[in-house]
Chains A and B, each alone.
Chain A
Amino acid sequence: MASAVPSVLFREYQGGALSILVNENPDLAPPNVIIQGHQSSGKTLTVRKFFEENPQICNCWLNPVELVTWKPLLQHVARSVSSTLRTLFPEINYDTQDALEAEDFYFLLRVLEAVLQRYQVLEKSINLYVVLDGFDQLKELDLELLPKFLKLHEQLPSDFKIQLKFIYIVRDVAFLNKYSTYNIPSIIFPRYRHEEIAEILLRNKTNEYVESEELLVQVVKCGLDPEDSVFEQIAENYIKMIIQAFHSYTGNDIVALNDIMDSKWESYVESITADNIYEPLALYRSNIELYTTTGDTFTDQDATGGFDETKQGATAYELSAISKYLLLAAYLCSYLEPRYDSKIFSKKSHLRAGRSSYGRRSKMETNPRYLQPSLFPLERLFSIFQAIFPVGEGAQVKSNIFHQNELMKANVEVYENLAELNSLKLIATATAKGVDYLSYKLKWKVNVPWEIITEISSSVSFDIAEYFTGLHN
């Protein structure tokens, strides 16, 4: 008897192929079937639907990605085979075989043989399908694994009443191409096309959105009682708009589109008012920012609120001025050559003047910012920090009138801030383990990209870009 064909949208061919290749009768079905298709192309859905439509075909389902390595995979194959059979035929009793023994293919065979042996009393021989969903997602995948599974049926006696058959669901084409010579019947799931996605999502999501509580509550709040068709129209418009806005970002990934839709639905509903509920265009305009960002960040909520006071307050949760200047100094240390230091930072003109201070004026091949940060000793950091830290800031200078231009010296605070930067991993040490932080041997480097350092420098109005002009070609 032929298997029933599952009805999955745009997967008619694949469903038909499945119903041909998978059957409860061992004589009518090949021992291995491979299903290949990219992420969210409906593989799992189709196979699940297929088994739902054909309850006479026994099957068990495994997710190799959860099992991480091949050993637990083997153990789980053994275990799920035996437990599936036990639930299918509770009348056949035998002492349990420990599935954990299946530590290798040889042991797996032994366990399987011992288990399947018991079912020789059955009258009719049947298939038991083991579905390995996402076979290539196994974390520690090696190339030997699939062939071993493919050949498993040859090792088991063919006169067993229970015949094991395997279905491998695989994403990666390149992985499959390595086994093309095995001639395994494969079903390919192509990616959905744009129109197909739209239709699938419309069909699946419209009802969910129309019946969603948020929409009802909002509509009641507006004091309206529109017809069902209005609800439908709202939901449909929303789905279409999201697909159009984000299709270029997600590609034909239904799951991603689905997630984005769900995450924005609430704020979309909130913008519904009595005025715009009947006018899709007005509704679209009222929440246009929904379509301009994907919204998959953790932080955007914080950015809007609570920044007004904290910016200049003493106890804001951000880097202190000392930390910022230390970080700037560290950046300069890492990306400027030491030989330019006297020219750039010295306040004594005779040290600055001329080529004598830093040798030949050959420009660098590349912008130093594109290179790896170079290492520097702590002394250099502190001296550049001293050079760039603004003199006469705060109340410190007020009290000592006699030392008007006292430079910032590294007191305990500076060291505290350095330690903080280090623990934030903004400034790193050259070696990570067993570090003696005050040792002169220790070298440091900055661990911050240009984008962040410019942000920091602009927050203290320090033009760091100026230090990097004219250094390279």
Chain B
Amino acid sequence: MTTLNLNEFAEAQKPHYIIKPRVKRRKVTCKKGVDPFVKLLSGKESIDMVNKRWILYHQLHTQFYAQVEDIVQRIELDLRREISNVLGKETKSSKTPSFNCLFLLGSDSTANIEIMDEDTQKVNVIIDLTPKESPNVRMMLRRSMFRLLSSAESSLAGSTTVTKQEVCDEVADDDNELDTQAAADLGVSYDLSLVQNFKKLFKKGLKLIFNFKDVDSFNSQVLDDFINLLKSSLHYDSVEVCLVLNINTNLSNIQKNLRQSTVRLLKKNFTVIDLSHNKGFKYANQTFQSFLNTVDGKLNLSSEFVGFILEKMANNATHNLQLLTKILDYSLMSYFFQNPFSVFIDPTNVSNLDENYLPPLVKCPTFMNFIDGMVRNHASSKEIMSLLENQDSSLEEFFTEFLVRDNPINGHLKLVVDVLENQLGVFNYNLIDLYYHMLTGKLAQFLAKWPECHEFDDILKFEPVDIIFQELFTLDNSKELFSQSLFPYLRSNLEDNLINSERILPPTVKSGSDANPFQDDLEAGIDLPLCHLFSLYREASSLINLYDFFCAFKETLPKGRLVNYARSAMDPEKNELNAEEQAKMNELMKNHTLDDVVDKMILVWFIQSVSEFQQIGLLKANNNSSYEVVEKCIWRGL
């Protein structure tokens, strides 16, 4: 007998599945020859240098990440301290009893709430309420009181076991008896009487913290009623009530849904903490500074790159810090991946500079400028030629000389920051923006926001300088690499790939021998059926008649090639089928000409492609009754 498994049934009815692939940690080895990096300089780079490049990158990367982790942890610590400070405040001191209200702005409701000062006279109970658990006041009250009771009992049980060890058993027993006696007397029910009688039941004061999660999704009427209901608990002695509201949107949005009297009630004692990391520039500045420190004296950042960071951070309001880290990390990786000179960031490696490195050196724009200058200044041609042709390794020496030269920008940045923070007391500035203005030589324009800077004009003055060979040591968003790989176009990439399958498929390898006629023929001969269909799809109007579509599809395929292919495939001498398969194929082919076979093949491809289009959401069946027409679901060029 088969029974219907409910879970399986539910699984089968799902319209979509969520697959979470386990992230495989890439094993990072620093063994020679197995690094993820490849040989550069048209393959002439020595394997030793590749390895050194990889190790150097790895060092910088871990160094940067250690600092970022530190910063992130600090954020959390700061936050937790701030929250518990607010909640630990003494509320009874104010003359009118009021809730201790804490609004957490930009909260994803996962903020950890803990109370530092656990004293013996008071029990702290945190009650989490989610919108799902709070359909009405009755449920909210029952749930929260149930939680209050269970957590109070558990914390009390914990404390009595402690006392039991210290004091003799009798006393503890006595204590328990008293409790149960009192409890029976007062009765315990899941309503506010529990809060009212808490002191009598547990012999301790109570600090009750309601943590309303995702307040935006609460029924505001219910929330309002619940808060009003709690109002009477303010008058009970030795009971404090804290309300923590996790707000996603903004305060005015919450406020407009509450009654004015409730707003007034909450406003008596309320604190707002903005949880979003990007409030202000503090943490982003720290992260950027730590990146600069990591690569200090070694790498420069191009102004386009810094501008790119600024622009992308402006586009993403919520996960700024993660984005910044991602961009910096990616830029570092791509720099080490594609620049053979990156290895010389560690100047000790300069001993390995050989003639393979010289041709790109000569082509450096800054170097060419320098030569230009020499020519203009009528330097001796011998000097110039010796530099260009590396006679007596003069070019190498020249390169090494500039290798150790420092870009003054980081030093000056520190000076400006020092002036801003220590002299003027300005903390609300964007370090990345400041850096950008310094790179583009518009520092004065940036500082104009703080007029008091004028006093320091003479020391703050800064002109960016060009250092020869600096482009070899600059992080740059050249050829839009970062915009392409960090912020890809979703739809246009898909469309372009469907038009040009070469973009994603490996190029066909022309094997000399005619060993495998199947694959060779097909791959070289025609594009994927999907791509064929898509190029037709692009031309079609929004409603597509399936038969017309099929006819057009058939026309576009190179029929001659297909016939040839089919013929060779069926040739028993050429293919590699075993006898059984051959027999099956012959059975299939019995009453058909070669043309019929190809037609069938095309039909199969067509049906397959159309259903694939439906799967990936390019086509939709118009409605249930008509099967002749399909409709396009996407618009081009978005």
Q: Which stretch in B34-42, B155-163, B256-264 binds the other chain?
A: B256-264
B638 with A263: CB separation less than 8 A: no
Contact of B430 among A83, A314, A386 (CB under 8 A): A314
A window 380-438: CB within 8 A of B: 380, 382-383, 386, 394-396, 398-400, 407, 409-413, 415-417, 420, 423-425, 434, 436, 438
B191 with A317: CB separation less than 8 A: no
CB-CB under 8 A from B184, the residues of chain A are 96
Residue B637 lies at the interface, judged by CB distance under 8 Å to chain A: yes
Alpha-carbon gap, A382 to B637, bound state (A): 10
B window 71-128: CB within 8 A of A: 96, 103, 106
Residue B569 lies at the interface, judged by CB distance under 8 Å to chain A: no
B263 with A309: CB separation less than 8 A: no
Question: What 0/1 pattern do residues 262 to 277 of B give for CB contact below 8 A with A?
Answer: 0111111010101010
Residue ID in chain A nearest B265 by CB atoms: A259
B193 with A76: CB separation less than 8 A: yes
Residue B350 lies at the interface, judged by CB distance under 8 Å to chain A: no
Alpha-carbon gap, A413 to B326, bound state (A): 14
Alpha-carbon gap, A416 to B250, bound state (A): 20
Q: In whole Å, how far is A102's beta carbon from the nearest beta carbon of chain B?
A: 11
CB-CB under 8 A from B186, the residues of chain A are 79, 83
Contact of A395 among B229, B307, B449, B488 (CB under 8 A): B307
Residue ID in chain A nearest B619 by CB atoms: A440
Alpha-carbon gap, A66 to B229, bound state (A): 6
CB-CB under 8 A from B261, the residues of chain A are 255-256, 259
Residue B567 lies at the interface, judged by CB distance under 8 Å to chain A: no
B491 with A410: CB separation less than 8 A: yes
A323 with B317: CB separation less than 8 A: yes
Alpha-carbon gap, A288 to B287, bound state (A): 46
CB-CB under 8 A from B103, the residues of chain A are 298
Question: What 0/1 pattern do residues 455 to 469 of B give for CB contact below 8 A with A?
Answer: 000000000000000
B window 266-322: CB within 8 A of A: 266-268, 270, 272, 274, 276, 278-281, 284, 304, 307-308, 310-318, 320
A382 with B635: CB separation less than 8 A: yes
Q: In whole Å, how far is B636's beta carbon from the nearest beta carbon of chain A?
A: 9
Residue A366 lies at the interface, judged by CB distance under 8 Å to chain B: no
Residue A45 lies at the interface, judged by CB distance under 8 Å to chain B: no
Q: A259-B261, A412-B487 are in contact. Are A395 and B308 (CB under 8 A)?
A: yes
Residue B16 lies at the interface, judged by CB distance under 8 Å to chain A: yes
A383 with B638: CB separation less than 8 A: yes
Residue A99 lies at the interface, judged by CB distance under 8 Å to chain B: yes
B267 with A315: CB separation less than 8 A: no
CB-CB under 8 A from B637, the residues of chain A are 386, 407, 409
A139 with B315: CB separation less than 8 A: no
Alpha-carbon gap, A320 to B320, bound state (A): 11
A423 with B248: CB separation less than 8 A: yes
CB-CB under 8 A from A420, the residues of chain B are 317-318
Alpha-carbon gap, A201 to B232, bound state (A): 22
Q: A297-B255, A299-B255 are in contact. Are A409 and B317 (CB under 8 A)?
A: no
Residue B489 lies at the interface, judged by CB distance under 8 Å to chain A: yes
Residue A60 lies at the interface, judged by CB distance under 8 Å to chain B: no
CB-CB under 8 A from B207, the residues of chain A are none
Q: In whole Å, how far is A452's beta carbon from the nearest beta carbon of chain B?
A: 10
Alpha-carbon gap, A298 to B270, bound state (A): 9
Contact of A321 among B252, B304, B314, B617 (CB under 8 A): B314
CB-CB under 8 A from A69, the residues of chain B are 138
Alpha-carbon gap, A347 to B634, bound state (A): 20
Alpha-carbon gap, A313 to B255, bound state (A): 27
B304 with A315: CB separation less than 8 A: no
B249 with A424: CB separation less than 8 A: yes
Residue A184 lies at the interface, judged by CB distance under 8 Å to chain B: no
Q: A79-B187, A96-B184, A315-B430 are in contact. Are A415 and B490 (CB under 8 A)?
A: yes
Residue A306 lies at the interface, judged by CB distance under 8 Å to chain B: yes
Q: A83-B185, A263-B267, A400-B480 are in contact. Are A410 and B138 (CB under 8 A)?
A: no
Residue A368 lies at the interface, judged by CB distance under 8 Å to chain B: no
Q: A139-B225, A438-B617 are in contact. Are A315 and B313 (CB under 8 A)?
A: yes
- How many chain B residues have a CB neighbour from A under 8 Å? 82
Q: In whole Å, how far is A83's beta carbon from the nearest beta carbon of chain B?
A: 7
Residue A154 lies at the interface, judged by CB distance under 8 Å to chain B: no
Q: In whole Å, how far is A466's beta carbon from the nearest beta carbon of chain B?
A: 24
Residue A296 lies at the interface, judged by CB distance under 8 Å to chain B: yes
Alpha-carbon gap, A67 to B232, bound state (A): 12
CB-CB under 8 A from A86, the residues of chain B are 185
B229 with A65: CB separation less than 8 A: yes
CB-CB under 8 A from B280, the residues of chain A are 315
CB-CB under 8 A from A75, the residues of chain B are 189
Residue A322 lies at the interface, judged by CB distance under 8 Å to chain B: yes
A413 with B274: CB separation less than 8 A: no
Residue A319 lies at the interface, judged by CB distance under 8 Å to chain B: yes
A window 292-310: CB within 8 A of B: 294, 296-299, 302, 306, 309-310
B106 with A317: CB separation less than 8 A: yes
B311 with A396: CB separation less than 8 A: yes
CB-CB under 8 A from B304, the residues of chain A are 395, 398-399
A72 with B191: CB separation less than 8 A: yes
Q: In whole Å, how far is A208's beta carbon from the nearest beta carbon of chain B?
A: 8
Residue B492 lies at the interface, judged by CB distance under 8 Å to chain A: yes
Alpha-carbon gap, A48 to B449, bound state (A): 62
B489 with A439: CB separation less than 8 A: no
A306 with B428: CB separation less than 8 A: yes
CB-CB under 8 A from A439, the residues of chain B are 617
Residue B375 lies at the interface, judged by CB distance under 8 Å to chain A: no
Residue B432 lies at the interface, judged by CB distance under 8 Å to chain A: yes
B633 with A382: CB separation less than 8 A: no
A315 with B312: CB separation less than 8 A: no
Alpha-carbon gap, A219 to B483, bound state (A): 63
Residue B216 lies at the interface, judged by CB distance under 8 Å to chain A: yes
CB-CB under 8 A from A383, the residues of chain B are 635, 638
Q: In whole Å, how far is A117's beta carbon from the nearest beta carbon of chain B?
A: 19
Residue B512 lies at the interface, judged by CB distance under 8 Å to chain A: no
Alpha-carbon gap, A399 to B479, bound state (A): 8
Alpha-carbon gap, A299 to B487, bound state (A): 36
Q: List 18 A-B contacts (CB under 8 A).
A: A66-B191, A72-B189, A76-B193, A83-B185, A96-B184, A259-B261, A259-B268, A298-B254, A299-B251, A310-B428, A314-B311, A315-B313, A317-B106, A320-B315, A379-B634, A382-B638, A386-B637, A412-B487
Known: A79-B186, A320-B316. 13 other contacts (CB 8 A): A68-B138, A79-B187, A139-B225, A262-B96, A314-B430, A315-B430, A318-B317, A383-B635, A398-B304, A411-B488, A416-B316, A417-B315, A440-B617
| Closest 5 pairs between A and B when the two form their complex, measured CB to CB | A440-B633, A382-B638, A314-B314, A298-B251, A395-B307
